[in-house]
């Protein structure tokens, strides 16, 4: 059902884009549309609400629904091309401030964490209680991971084109640990690792803890890592690994096409450089089929695949997994040396939840929520921010990348907003240089409310003020 009303909303939106219905037109009544599309009236009403959330429709009392084109539709950011050199990573303490701030009940637009209302609380509570009653099974070191958990992972991986056995799966404390273990398995301190630019700060921090140098590769807001940029880097530097968030990346929301994933995998295989793939947002696609991971195109076992349930079930479970491929023995060793094993109860609970079969149903509604909330936020940014602001248009996940007009400081907007209890992530956090100083990342995974709407309007006003001061 959720999918159906979204499909109807997409079809109506396409009719609006093709100007079959123009700005100010009244849409046919719900009964007419219900006949036209062959769906129930309540599906049409839900589709209308979805389009209203996306900023395309306006209800008028007793008159029906009218087309209202978003007043301004912000363009998408452009890829920043720059020549980079490998540099040691030093953490930006801002990342810690952001997490601490969010716990102080600020408006939570900074961290990429889904609002608790969107998480499957009841199901995970029931499965955790079930798991806790398993007795002795919960008490041992679950190394390399509980069998039932690894079986569920193997089944899910097969469904995205990556057939593996239970022995190929290593349970981890989230995707963050998987990335660190992957890096430790294939590098030595001081080595150079290619990363996206902008990059998820956790990946930069992972490089820092392992003592690596980062080489930033320009990344396109829609297409992902620049393959031309990577090719140049491979010619110029002795890279030892490349870390990429292939589906709905953080912070840009980029998704590499299958073709580009294939090219990425084969380029790196030819150069003998392992790809560490982070697929944490892969299940959160807005439409169509689940995008495949690059691992599905890996013919030489050169891709170390990392994922977790932090963006889907809950970040607090601290439960992820990796498929280290031919680096398994080294990854296992690193895991064992750093914390022996991943806690048993979350693994048993998640395995139980997945076995019950409700997970895919839950994912369908979560994807819907994230899509609606993110599109609504995008429309609000386009309305409130200065002309010349660009906003990413993700096809999945829930973060928005906002590029302010030239001369407008995202860092200043961040500090001023923070003083007013609005928490956003400043662009500075996403690079080892200052090149994204004029950017902000917003978390769209919040139920829409007046508080969120006002916070976006206030951020827009602050950006206007900063822009005025910069000229």
Binding site for ligand PLP (CB under 6 A): 112, 174-176, 200, 202, 245, 250, 278, 280, 308, 310, 315, 320
Query: Do residues 255 and 249 lie in contact, with contact meaning Cβ atoms separated by under 8 Å?
Result: yes
Contacts of 295 (CB under 8 A, 6+ apart): 162, 277, 279, 303, 305, 323
Q: How far is the CB of 280 from ligand PLP (least distance, A)?
A: 5
Nearer to ligand PLP, 315 or 358 (CB): 315
Contacts of range 200-205, beta carbons closer than 8 Å, 24 or more positions apart: 200/245, 200/249, 200/250, 200/251, 200/278, 200/430, 201/92, 201/95, 201/429, 201/430, 202/95, 202/176, 203/179, 203/243, 203/245, 203/278, 204/89, 204/91, 204/431, 204/432, 205/89, 205/91, 205/95
Q: How far is the CB of 399 from ligand PLP (least distance, A)?
A: 8
Q: How far is the CB of 19 from ligand PLP (least distance, A)?
A: 38
Nearer to ligand PLP, 253 or 460 (CB): 253
Q: How far is the CB of 319 from ligand PLP (least distance, A)?
A: 8
Q: How far is the CB of 357 from ligand PLP (least distance, A)?
A: 23
Question: Tokens representing 296?
Answer: 């599905």
Q: How far is the CB of 5 from ligand PLP (least distance, A)?
A: 29
What does the chain come to in residues? 471
Contacts of 436 (CB under 8 A, 6+ apart): 80, 198, 410, 427, 428, 430
Q: How far is the CB of 306 from ligand PLP (least distance, A)?
A: 8
Nearest CA among 228, 255, 194 for reference residue 432: 194
Question: Tokens representing 121?
Answer: 């609380």
Query: Do residues 424 and 414 lie in contact, with contact meaning Cβ atoms separated by under 8 Å?
Result: yes
Nearer to ligand PLP, 280 or 328 (CB): 280
Nearer to ligand PLP, 112 or 230 (CB): 112
Nearer to ligand PLP, 50 or 247 (CB): 247
Nearer to ligand PLP, 47 or 194 (CB): 194
Nearer to ligand PLP, 112 or 268 (CB): 112
Nearer to ligand PLP, 200 or 385 (CB): 200
Nearer to ligand PLP, 34 or 176 (CB): 176
Q: How far is the CB of 350 from ligand PLP (least distance, A)?
A: 12
Please identify the residue of the shown chain whose CB is closest to the bound ligand PLP. Answer: 174
Q: How far is the CB of 284 from ligand PLP (least distance, A)?
A: 11
């Amino acid at each position: 059902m959720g999918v159906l009303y979204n499909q109807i909303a997409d079809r109506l939106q396409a009719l609006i884009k093709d100007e079959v219905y123009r700005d100010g037109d009244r849409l046919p009544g719900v009964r007419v549309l219900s006949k036209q599309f062959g769906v129930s009236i309540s599906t049409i009403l839900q589709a209308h609400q979805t389009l209203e959330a996306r900023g395309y429709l306006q209800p008028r009392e007793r008159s029906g629904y009218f087309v209202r084109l978003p007043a301004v539709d912000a363009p998408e950011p452009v890829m920043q091309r720059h020549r980079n050199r490998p540099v040691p990573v030093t953490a930006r303490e801002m990342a810690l401030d952001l997490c601490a701030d969010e716990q102080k009940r600020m408006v939570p637009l900074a961290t990429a964490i889904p609002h608790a209302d969107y998480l499957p609380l009841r199901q995970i509570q029931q499965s955790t209680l079930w798991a806790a009653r398993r007795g002795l099974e919960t008490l041992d070191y679950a190394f390399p991971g509980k069998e039932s958990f690894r079986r569920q992972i193997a089944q899910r991986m097969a469904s995205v084109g990556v057939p593996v056995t239970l022995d190929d799966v290593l349970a981890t404390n989230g995707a963050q640990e998987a990335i660190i273990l992957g890096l430790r398995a294939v590098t030595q301190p001081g080595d150079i690792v290619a990363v996206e630019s902008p990059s998820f700060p956790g990946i930069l921090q992972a490089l820092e803890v392992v003592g690596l140098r980062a080489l930033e590769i320009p990344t396109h807001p829609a297409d992902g890592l620049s393959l031309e940029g990577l090719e140049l880097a491979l010619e110029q530097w002795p890279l030892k690994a490349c870390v990429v968030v292939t589906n709905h990346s953080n912070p840009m929301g980029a998704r590499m096409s299958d073709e580009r994933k294939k090219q990425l995998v084969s380029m790196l295989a030819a150069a003998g450089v392992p790809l560490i793939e982070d697929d944490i947002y892969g299940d959160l696609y807005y439409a169509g089929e689940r995008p495949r991971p690059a691992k599905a195109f890996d013919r030489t076992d050169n891709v170390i695949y990392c994922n977790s349930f932090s963006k889907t079930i809950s970040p607090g479970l601290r439960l992820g997994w990796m498929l280290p491929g031919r680096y398994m023995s080294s990854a296992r060793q690193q895991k064992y040396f750093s914390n022996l094993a991943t806690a048993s109860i979350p693994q048993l609970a998640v395995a139980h939840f997945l076995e019950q079969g409700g997970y895919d149903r839950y994912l369908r509604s979560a994807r819907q929520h994230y899509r609606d909330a993110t599109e609504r936020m995008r429309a609000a940014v386009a309305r409130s921010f200065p002309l010349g602001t660009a906003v990413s248009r993700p096809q999945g996940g829930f973060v928005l990348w906002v590029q302010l007009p030239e001369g407008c400081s995202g860092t200043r907007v961040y500090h001023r907003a923070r003083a007013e209890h609005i928490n956003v992530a400043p662009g500075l956090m996403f690079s080892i240089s200052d090149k994204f100083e004029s950017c902000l990342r917003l978390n769209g995974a919040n139920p829409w409310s007046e508080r969120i709407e006002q916070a976006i309007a206030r951020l827009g006003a602050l950006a206007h003020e900063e822009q005025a001061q910069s000229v």
